[in-house]
Structure 1
Amino acid sequence: MSRVIVVTGTDTDVGKTVFAAGLAAALRAHYWKPIQAGLTDGTDANSVAGLGVPPDHVLAEAYRLRTPCSPHRAAELDGVAIDEERLALPSVDGTLVVEGAGGALVPVTRDLLFADLFARWRRPVVVVARTALGTINHSLLTIEALRARGVPLLGVAFIGDPVEDSEQTIATIGGVRRLGRLPILPRLDAATLHAAFAEAFDLADLR
Protein backbone atom coordinates (compact mmCIF):
# COMPACT_ATOMS: atom_id res chain seq x y z
CA MET A 1 0.00 0.00 0.00
CA SER A 2 1.26 3.47 -0.89
CA ARG A 3 2.32 5.90 1.81
CA VAL A 4 -0.06 8.86 1.46
CA ILE A 5 0.19 12.41 2.78
CA VAL A 6 -2.79 14.69 2.20
CA VAL A 7 -2.27 18.45 1.94
CA THR A 8 -5.13 20.82 2.68
CA GLY A 9 -5.31 24.53 3.41
CA THR A 10 -7.09 26.92 5.71
CA ASP A 11 -8.33 28.77 2.64
CA THR A 12 -7.65 29.15 -1.06
CA ASP A 13 -4.35 30.71 -2.19
CA VAL A 14 -2.51 30.02 1.07
CA GLY A 15 0.40 28.33 -0.70
CA LYS A 16 -0.58 24.68 -0.42
CA THR A 17 0.34 23.87 -4.03
CA VAL A 18 3.84 25.24 -3.49
CA PHE A 19 4.11 23.29 -0.24
CA ALA A 20 2.80 20.13 -1.91
CA ALA A 21 5.33 20.54 -4.72
CA GLY A 22 8.17 21.02 -2.26
CA LEU A 23 7.05 18.01 -0.24
CA ALA A 24 6.61 15.72 -3.24
CA ALA A 25 9.99 16.73 -4.66
CA ALA A 26 11.75 16.30 -1.30
CA LEU A 27 10.23 12.84 -0.76
CA ARG A 28 10.57 11.86 -4.43
CA ALA A 29 6.87 11.18 -4.22
CA HIS A 30 4.04 11.09 -6.73
CA TYR A 31 1.59 14.00 -6.74
CA TRP A 32 -2.16 13.88 -7.30
CA LYS A 33 -4.82 16.57 -7.24
CA PRO A 34 -8.11 14.69 -7.63
CA ILE A 35 -10.13 17.71 -8.80
CA GLN A 36 -8.83 20.74 -10.69
CA ALA A 37 -11.37 23.56 -10.92
CA GLY A 38 -10.28 26.33 -13.29
CA LEU A 39 -8.09 25.79 -16.34
CA THR A 40 -7.55 29.29 -17.76
CA ASP A 41 -4.44 30.06 -15.71
CA GLY A 42 -3.01 26.55 -15.97
CA THR A 43 -3.35 23.67 -13.55
CA ASP A 44 -1.80 22.90 -10.20
CA ALA A 45 -0.41 19.70 -11.71
CA ASN A 46 1.49 21.78 -14.27
CA SER A 47 2.74 24.11 -11.54
CA VAL A 48 4.00 21.18 -9.48
CA ALA A 49 5.79 19.71 -12.50
CA GLY A 50 7.52 23.06 -12.95
CA LEU A 51 8.64 23.09 -9.33
CA GLY A 52 10.73 19.97 -9.32
CA VAL A 53 8.34 17.01 -9.40
CA PRO A 54 9.15 14.80 -12.41
CA PRO A 55 6.29 14.83 -14.93
CA ASP A 56 5.98 11.04 -14.72
CA HIS A 57 5.32 11.44 -10.98
CA VAL A 58 2.40 13.81 -11.56
CA LEU A 59 -0.81 11.82 -11.84
CA ALA A 60 -3.73 12.92 -13.99
CA GLU A 61 -6.66 14.49 -12.19
CA ALA A 62 -9.85 12.53 -11.79
CA TYR A 63 -11.73 15.66 -12.89
CA ARG A 64 -10.59 18.76 -14.80
CA LEU A 65 -13.29 21.43 -14.54
CA ARG A 66 -13.20 24.64 -16.55
CA THR A 67 -14.93 26.97 -14.10
CA PRO A 68 -12.68 28.47 -11.36
CA CYS A 69 -14.84 28.00 -8.28
CA SER A 70 -15.70 25.38 -5.69
CA PRO A 71 -15.64 21.91 -7.31
CA HIS A 72 -19.29 21.19 -6.56
CA ARG A 73 -20.41 24.33 -8.40
CA ALA A 74 -17.78 24.09 -11.13
CA ALA A 75 -19.02 20.59 -11.93
CA GLU A 76 -22.62 21.79 -12.09
CA LEU A 77 -21.73 24.67 -14.39
CA ASP A 78 -19.64 22.39 -16.60
CA GLY A 79 -22.40 19.77 -16.76
CA VAL A 80 -20.27 17.14 -15.02
CA ALA A 81 -21.48 14.66 -12.41
CA ILE A 82 -18.72 13.84 -9.91
CA ASP A 83 -18.59 10.12 -9.18
CA GLU A 84 -17.16 9.61 -5.70
CA GLU A 85 -15.76 6.22 -6.68
CA ARG A 86 -13.33 7.99 -9.03
CA LEU A 87 -11.90 9.79 -5.99
CA ALA A 88 -10.46 6.64 -4.43
CA LEU A 89 -6.75 6.99 -3.73
CA PRO A 90 -4.58 5.69 -6.58
CA SER A 91 -1.87 3.18 -5.79
CA VAL A 92 1.72 4.16 -6.58
CA ASP A 93 5.13 2.75 -5.91
CA GLY A 94 6.31 4.74 -2.89
CA THR A 95 4.78 7.91 -1.46
CA LEU A 96 1.80 9.83 -2.79
CA VAL A 97 1.17 13.50 -1.96
CA VAL A 98 -2.50 14.41 -2.47
CA GLU A 99 -3.64 18.02 -2.65
CA GLY A 100 -7.20 19.09 -1.94
CA ALA A 101 -8.89 22.15 -3.42
CA GLY A 102 -9.23 25.29 -1.31
CA GLY A 103 -9.89 24.67 2.36
CA ALA A 104 -10.92 21.51 4.19
CA LEU A 105 -14.63 22.35 4.14
CA VAL A 106 -14.84 23.09 0.42
CA PRO A 107 -17.64 21.00 -1.11
CA VAL A 108 -16.71 18.26 -3.55
CA THR A 109 -20.40 17.67 -4.28
CA ARG A 110 -23.58 18.90 -2.65
CA ASP A 111 -23.30 15.94 -0.26
CA LEU A 112 -19.54 15.64 0.32
CA LEU A 113 -16.90 18.00 1.72
CA PHE A 114 -13.17 17.52 1.25
CA ALA A 115 -12.88 16.90 5.01
CA ASP A 116 -15.37 14.04 4.63
CA LEU A 117 -13.29 12.63 1.79
CA PHE A 118 -10.15 12.84 3.93
CA ALA A 119 -11.98 10.96 6.67
CA ARG A 120 -12.82 8.19 4.22
CA TRP A 121 -9.21 7.94 3.13
CA ARG A 122 -7.94 7.73 6.75
CA ARG A 123 -4.54 9.10 5.77
CA PRO A 124 -2.51 11.77 7.60
CA VAL A 125 -3.14 15.40 6.69
CA VAL A 126 -0.90 18.47 6.71
CA VAL A 127 -2.74 21.76 7.17
CA VAL A 128 -1.11 24.63 5.28
CA ALA A 129 -1.76 28.03 6.86
CA ARG A 130 -0.75 31.61 6.25
CA THR A 131 1.08 33.50 8.96
CA ALA A 132 -0.94 36.64 8.14
CA LEU A 133 -3.68 38.21 10.24
CA GLY A 134 -6.65 35.90 10.74
CA THR A 135 -4.65 32.70 10.61
CA ILE A 136 -5.33 31.67 14.21
CA ASN A 137 -9.08 31.54 13.68
CA HIS A 138 -8.87 29.90 10.25
CA SER A 139 -6.31 27.34 11.38
CA LEU A 140 -8.08 26.32 14.58
CA LEU A 141 -11.40 26.00 12.77
CA THR A 142 -9.75 23.76 10.16
CA ILE A 143 -8.08 21.62 12.82
CA GLU A 144 -11.34 21.30 14.74
CA ALA A 145 -13.29 20.31 11.62
CA LEU A 146 -10.77 17.62 10.71
CA ARG A 147 -10.55 16.26 14.26
CA ALA A 148 -14.34 16.07 14.50
CA ARG A 149 -14.21 13.67 11.56
CA GLY A 150 -11.40 11.57 12.98
CA VAL A 151 -8.88 12.73 10.37
CA PRO A 152 -5.28 12.10 11.52
CA LEU A 153 -3.16 15.26 11.54
CA LEU A 154 0.57 15.37 10.86
CA GLY A 155 0.71 19.03 11.81
CA VAL A 156 0.61 22.57 10.45
CA ALA A 157 2.97 24.00 7.84
CA PHE A 158 3.08 27.78 7.73
CA ILE A 159 3.64 30.01 4.70
CA GLY A 160 4.84 33.61 4.93
CA ASP A 161 6.83 35.89 7.17
CA PRO A 162 7.58 34.67 10.70
CA VAL A 163 4.89 35.47 13.28
CA GLU A 164 6.08 33.56 16.32
CA ASP A 165 3.10 34.10 18.59
CA SER A 166 0.49 33.13 16.00
CA GLU A 167 2.38 30.02 14.96
CA GLN A 168 2.92 28.85 18.51
CA THR A 169 -0.63 29.70 19.56
CA ILE A 170 -2.07 27.57 16.77
CA ALA A 171 0.19 24.65 17.64
CA THR A 172 -0.55 24.87 21.37
CA ILE A 173 -4.30 25.44 21.29
CA GLY A 174 -4.78 23.14 18.32
CA GLY A 175 -2.67 20.41 19.90
CA VAL A 176 -0.76 19.85 16.67
CA ARG A 177 2.86 19.78 15.60
CA ARG A 178 4.32 22.94 14.17
CA LEU A 179 6.12 21.46 11.17
CA GLY A 180 7.92 24.57 9.95
CA ARG A 181 7.48 27.70 7.89
CA LEU A 182 8.15 28.27 4.21
CA PRO A 183 8.90 31.93 3.43
CA ILE A 184 7.49 33.75 0.42
CA LEU A 185 10.22 33.34 -2.19
CA PRO A 186 11.06 36.38 -4.32
CA ARG A 187 11.94 33.99 -7.14
CA LEU A 188 9.99 30.75 -7.17
CA ASP A 189 11.41 27.86 -9.15
CA ALA A 190 12.46 24.27 -8.54
CA ALA A 191 15.89 25.21 -7.19
CA THR A 192 14.78 27.96 -4.80
CA LEU A 193 11.87 25.87 -3.52
CA HIS A 194 14.09 22.84 -2.94
CA ALA A 195 16.56 24.91 -0.91
CA ALA A 196 13.89 26.72 1.11
CA PHE A 197 11.94 23.55 1.80
CA ALA A 198 15.05 21.71 3.01
CA GLU A 199 15.84 24.57 5.40
CA ALA A 200 12.27 24.98 6.67
CA PHE A 201 11.18 21.38 7.26
CA ASP A 202 12.55 18.20 8.80
CA LEU A 203 11.50 15.35 6.53
CA ALA A 204 11.40 13.02 9.52
CA ASP A 205 8.29 14.91 10.66
CA LEU A 206 6.66 14.36 7.29
CA ARG A 207 7.23 10.65 6.75
Structure 2
Amino acid sequence: MAIIVVTGTGTEVGKTIVTAAVASLARAQARSVAVVKPAQTGVGPDDAGDVAEVVRLAGEVTGVELGRYPEPLAPATAARRGGVEPVRVHRVAEVAEKLASEHDLVLVEGAGGLLVRLDDTGATLADAARLLGAPVLLVAPAGLGTLNATALTGEALRARELELLGVVIGSWPAAPGLAARCNLVDLPEAAGAPLLGAVAEGAGGLAAAEFRARAGGWLAPRLGGWWDAAAFTAANPA
Protein backbone atom coordinates (compact mmCIF):
# COMPACT_ATOMS: atom_id res chain seq x y z
CA MET A 1 0.00 0.00 0.00
CA ALA A 2 1.70 3.16 -1.21
CA ILE A 3 -1.18 5.44 -0.14
CA ILE A 4 -3.65 5.08 2.74
CA VAL A 5 -6.49 7.51 3.33
CA VAL A 6 -7.25 8.00 7.03
CA THR A 7 -10.76 9.07 8.00
CA GLY A 8 -12.88 8.98 11.13
CA THR A 9 -16.45 8.44 12.20
CA GLY A 10 -16.39 12.14 13.10
CA THR A 11 -14.13 14.80 14.56
CA GLU A 12 -11.89 14.41 17.63
CA VAL A 13 -11.79 10.60 17.40
CA GLY A 14 -8.00 10.23 17.23
CA LYS A 15 -7.22 10.36 13.49
CA THR A 16 -4.03 12.37 13.92
CA ILE A 17 -2.65 10.10 16.64
CA VAL A 18 -3.46 6.98 14.62
CA THR A 19 -1.82 8.57 11.58
CA ALA A 20 1.26 9.30 13.68
CA ALA A 21 1.35 5.72 14.98
CA VAL A 22 1.17 4.26 11.46
CA ALA A 23 3.85 6.69 10.31
CA SER A 24 6.16 5.89 13.22
CA LEU A 25 5.93 2.14 12.57
CA ALA A 26 6.73 2.65 8.90
CA ARG A 27 9.72 4.79 9.86
CA ALA A 28 10.87 2.07 12.27
CA GLN A 29 10.99 -0.24 9.23
CA ALA A 30 13.19 2.31 7.42
CA ARG A 31 10.35 3.27 5.09
CA SER A 32 10.07 6.87 3.93
CA VAL A 33 6.74 8.47 4.87
CA ALA A 34 4.75 11.53 3.84
CA VAL A 35 1.58 12.85 5.46
CA VAL A 36 -0.92 15.01 3.61
CA LYS A 37 -3.61 17.08 5.33
CA PRO A 38 -5.95 18.34 2.59
CA ALA A 39 -7.66 20.85 4.87
CA GLN A 40 -6.76 21.98 8.37
CA THR A 41 -9.51 23.87 10.17
CA GLY A 42 -9.77 25.53 13.56
CA VAL A 43 -6.17 26.75 13.82
CA GLY A 44 -4.58 30.13 13.25
CA PRO A 45 -1.86 30.87 10.70
CA ASP A 46 0.95 30.46 13.22
CA ASP A 47 -0.51 27.53 15.18
CA ALA A 48 0.76 23.96 14.94
CA GLY A 49 -1.71 21.79 13.06
CA ASP A 50 -2.23 18.06 12.70
CA VAL A 51 0.70 17.61 10.33
CA ALA A 52 3.07 19.17 12.86
CA GLU A 53 1.75 16.82 15.53
CA VAL A 54 2.39 13.78 13.31
CA VAL A 55 5.92 14.98 12.61
CA ARG A 56 6.52 15.60 16.33
CA LEU A 57 5.41 12.11 17.30
CA ALA A 58 6.63 10.07 14.33
CA GLY A 59 9.90 11.80 13.55
CA GLU A 60 11.36 12.07 10.04
CA VAL A 61 8.16 12.49 8.05
CA THR A 62 7.43 14.78 5.11
CA GLY A 63 4.40 16.86 6.06
CA VAL A 64 2.18 18.70 3.59
CA GLU A 65 -0.86 20.85 4.43
CA LEU A 66 -2.89 22.01 1.43
CA GLY A 67 -5.38 24.38 3.03
CA ARG A 68 -5.77 26.10 6.41
CA TYR A 69 -8.83 27.86 7.78
CA PRO A 70 -9.06 29.44 11.26
CA GLU A 71 -12.71 28.62 11.97
CA PRO A 72 -13.46 25.11 13.34
CA LEU A 73 -15.92 24.22 10.59
CA ALA A 74 -16.23 21.83 7.67
CA PRO A 75 -13.55 22.76 5.09
CA ALA A 76 -16.04 23.92 2.44
CA THR A 77 -17.86 26.12 4.96
CA ALA A 78 -14.63 27.49 6.43
CA ALA A 79 -13.30 28.33 2.97
CA ARG A 80 -16.56 30.05 1.98
CA ARG A 81 -16.68 32.12 5.15
CA GLY A 82 -13.02 33.03 4.80
CA GLY A 83 -13.49 34.10 1.20
CA VAL A 84 -10.70 31.82 0.01
CA GLU A 85 -10.43 29.07 -2.58
CA PRO A 86 -11.22 25.62 -1.17
CA VAL A 87 -8.97 22.61 -1.66
CA ARG A 88 -10.04 20.57 -4.68
CA VAL A 89 -9.89 16.77 -4.65
CA HIS A 90 -7.90 16.70 -7.89
CA ARG A 91 -5.24 18.75 -6.11
CA VAL A 92 -5.25 16.29 -3.19
CA ALA A 93 -4.79 13.37 -5.58
CA GLU A 94 -2.08 15.16 -7.54
CA VAL A 95 -0.03 15.95 -4.42
CA ALA A 96 -0.49 12.48 -2.91
CA GLU A 97 0.52 10.74 -6.13
CA LYS A 98 3.63 12.88 -6.49
CA LEU A 99 4.61 12.14 -2.89
CA ALA A 100 3.96 8.43 -3.48
CA SER A 101 6.52 8.50 -6.29
CA GLU A 102 9.09 9.80 -3.80
CA HIS A 103 8.12 7.95 -0.59
CA ASP A 104 7.32 4.38 0.44
CA LEU A 105 4.10 5.38 2.20
CA VAL A 106 1.76 8.36 1.95
CA LEU A 107 -0.95 8.93 4.58
CA VAL A 108 -3.79 11.29 3.64
CA GLU A 109 -5.57 12.42 6.80
CA GLY A 110 -9.03 13.91 6.32
CA ALA A 111 -10.93 16.45 8.39
CA GLY A 112 -13.85 15.09 10.38
CA GLY A 113 -15.67 12.19 8.74
CA LEU A 114 -15.61 10.62 5.31
CA LEU A 115 -18.35 12.73 3.70
CA VAL A 116 -17.46 16.15 5.10
CA ARG A 117 -17.43 18.56 2.16
CA LEU A 118 -14.09 19.86 0.99
CA ASP A 119 -15.40 22.37 -1.55
CA ASP A 120 -18.45 24.01 -3.05
CA THR A 121 -19.08 21.14 -5.47
CA GLY A 122 -19.73 18.71 -2.62
CA ALA A 123 -16.51 16.75 -3.14
CA THR A 124 -15.33 14.76 -0.14
CA LEU A 125 -12.43 12.67 1.10
CA ALA A 126 -14.18 9.66 -0.43
CA ASP A 127 -13.78 11.27 -3.85
CA ALA A 128 -10.07 11.77 -3.19
CA ALA A 129 -9.74 8.10 -2.20
CA ARG A 130 -11.49 7.06 -5.41
CA LEU A 131 -9.19 9.22 -7.56
CA LEU A 132 -6.19 7.69 -5.79
CA GLY A 133 -7.52 4.12 -5.82
CA ALA A 134 -6.41 4.02 -2.19
CA PRO A 135 -7.75 1.97 0.73
CA VAL A 136 -9.35 3.79 3.65
CA LEU A 137 -8.45 3.32 7.31
CA LEU A 138 -11.30 4.22 9.66
CA VAL A 139 -10.68 5.64 13.14
CA ALA A 140 -13.57 5.22 15.59
CA PRO A 141 -14.16 5.98 19.27
CA ALA A 142 -14.38 3.13 21.73
CA GLY A 143 -17.66 3.68 23.53
CA LEU A 144 -21.39 4.01 23.18
CA GLY A 145 -22.63 5.44 19.87
CA THR A 146 -19.71 4.35 17.73
CA LEU A 147 -21.42 1.40 16.02
CA ASN A 148 -23.93 3.40 14.01
CA ALA A 149 -21.35 5.88 12.69
CA THR A 150 -18.98 3.02 11.88
CA ALA A 151 -21.68 1.09 10.03
CA LEU A 152 -22.71 4.18 8.05
CA THR A 153 -19.11 4.89 7.04
CA GLY A 154 -18.58 1.28 5.99
CA GLU A 155 -21.79 1.38 3.95
CA ALA A 156 -20.76 4.65 2.27
CA LEU A 157 -17.40 3.17 1.30
CA ARG A 158 -18.93 0.01 -0.13
CA ALA A 159 -21.47 2.04 -2.10
CA ARG A 160 -18.54 3.85 -3.73
CA GLU A 161 -16.61 0.58 -4.26
CA LEU A 162 -13.81 1.78 -1.98
CA GLU A 163 -11.78 -0.61 0.17
CA LEU A 164 -12.13 -0.29 3.93
CA LEU A 165 -8.78 -1.49 5.21
CA GLY A 166 -10.02 -1.81 8.77
CA VAL A 167 -10.95 0.03 11.95
CA VAL A 168 -8.67 1.42 14.64
CA ILE A 169 -10.04 2.60 17.97
CA GLY A 170 -8.54 6.04 18.36
CA SER A 171 -8.50 6.18 22.17
CA TRP A 172 -8.85 3.05 24.26
CA PRO A 173 -9.63 4.00 27.89
CA ALA A 174 -7.54 2.78 30.79
CA ALA A 175 -10.74 1.54 32.46
CA PRO A 176 -13.04 0.55 29.57
CA GLY A 177 -16.76 0.37 30.28
CA LEU A 178 -19.15 -2.32 29.14
CA ALA A 179 -19.97 -0.64 25.83
CA ALA A 180 -16.31 -0.31 24.88
CA ARG A 181 -15.60 -3.94 25.72
CA CYS A 182 -18.64 -5.11 23.74
CA ASN A 183 -17.55 -2.96 20.81
CA LEU A 184 -14.36 -4.98 20.39
CA VAL A 185 -16.62 -7.72 19.07
CA ASP A 186 -19.26 -5.54 17.42
CA LEU A 187 -17.11 -2.95 15.60
CA PRO A 188 -15.72 -5.34 12.94
CA GLU A 189 -19.23 -6.57 12.20
CA ALA A 190 -20.57 -3.02 11.95
CA ALA A 191 -17.73 -1.95 9.68
CA GLY A 192 -17.56 -5.08 7.58
CA ALA A 193 -13.79 -4.95 8.08
CA PRO A 194 -11.27 -6.11 10.70
CA LEU A 195 -10.30 -4.34 13.88
CA LEU A 196 -6.69 -3.29 13.32
CA GLY A 197 -5.78 -1.63 16.58
CA ALA A 198 -6.62 0.29 19.72
CA VAL A 199 -4.46 3.28 20.62
CA ALA A 200 -4.06 3.90 24.32
CA GLU A 201 -5.91 6.84 25.81
CA GLY A 202 -3.58 9.82 26.19
CA ALA A 203 -1.08 8.53 23.64
CA GLY A 204 -0.79 11.96 22.06
CA GLY A 205 0.56 13.35 25.32
CA LEU A 206 3.52 10.98 25.39
CA ALA A 207 7.05 12.06 24.66
CA ALA A 208 7.97 11.23 21.08
CA ALA A 209 10.44 8.48 21.99
CA GLU A 210 7.92 6.68 24.19
CA PHE A 211 5.18 7.09 21.58
CA ARG A 212 7.35 5.45 18.93
CA ALA A 213 8.38 2.64 21.27
CA ARG A 214 4.76 1.84 22.15
CA ALA A 215 3.11 2.31 18.74
CA GLY A 216 3.60 -1.29 17.67
CA GLY A 217 1.55 -2.48 20.63
CA TRP A 218 -1.42 -0.44 19.44
CA LEU A 219 -1.61 -1.52 15.80
CA ALA A 220 -2.00 -4.86 14.03
CA PRO A 221 0.64 -6.43 11.74
CA ARG A 222 -1.15 -5.12 8.64
CA LEU A 223 -0.25 -1.63 9.87
CA GLY A 224 3.26 -2.61 10.92
CA GLY A 225 2.67 -3.47 14.59
CA TRP A 226 2.09 -6.59 16.65
CA TRP A 227 -1.27 -5.82 18.32
CA ASP A 228 -3.54 -8.87 18.25
CA ALA A 229 -7.31 -8.34 18.10
CA ALA A 230 -8.22 -11.75 19.50
CA ALA A 231 -5.84 -11.46 22.44
CA PHE A 232 -6.90 -7.88 23.16
CA THR A 233 -10.59 -8.84 23.10
CA ALA A 234 -9.96 -11.81 25.39
CA ALA A 235 -8.15 -9.51 27.82
CA ASN A 236 -11.15 -7.14 27.85
CA PRO A 237 -14.15 -9.46 28.14
CA ALA A 238 -17.69 -8.08 28.07
TM-score, normalization: structure 2?
Answer: 0.78
After TM superposition, give the deviation of residue 192 of structure 1 in Å. 3.0
After TM superposition, give the deviation of residue 119 of structure 1 in Å. 2.1
CA–CA distance in structure 2, aligned partners of residues 167 and 107 of structure 1: 30
Aligned-partner SS, 1:109 = coil
Contact 1:128 1:157 in 2 (8 A): yes
Contact 2:167 2:193 in 1 (8 A): yes
- Tell me the residue number matched to 1:106: 116
- Tell me the residue number matched to 2:233: none
Q: 1:50 to 1:83 in 2, by over 3 A?
A: closer
1:95 to 105, 117, 124: 105
Q: 1:173 to 1:35 in 2, by over 3 A?
A: closer
- Tell me the residue number matched to 1:183: 200
- Tell me the residue number matched to 1:30: 34
Structure 1 runs of 4+ off > 4 angstroms? none
In structure 2, the gaps of 5 or more residues are: 28-32, 225-238
After TM superposition, give the deviation of residue 165 of structure 1 in Å. 1.7
1:67 to 57, 71, 74: 71
After TM superposition, give the deviation of residue 175 of structure 1 in Å. 2.0
In structure 1, the gaps of 5 or more residues are: none
Q: What is the number of residues matched between the two proteins?
A: 203
After TM superposition, give the deviation of residue 180 of structure 1 in Å. 1.5
Q: CA RMSD in A?
A: 1.9
Aligned-partner SS, 1:112 = coil
TM-score, normalization: structure 1?
Answer: 0.89
Q: 1:173 to 1:63 in 2, by over 3 A?
A: closer
After superposition, give the CA deviation of every residue in 1:21-62 in whole Å (9 maximum; x if it has no partner): 1111111222111211222353111111211232xx233212
After superposition, give the CA deviation of every residue in 1:126-165 in whole Å (9 maximum; x if it has no partner): 1000102101111111111111111111100012225232
After superposition, give the CA deviation of every residue in 1:52-92 in whole Å (9 maximum; x if it has no partner): 232xx233212122222110011111211225232222323
Contact 1:154 1:206 in 2 (8 A): no
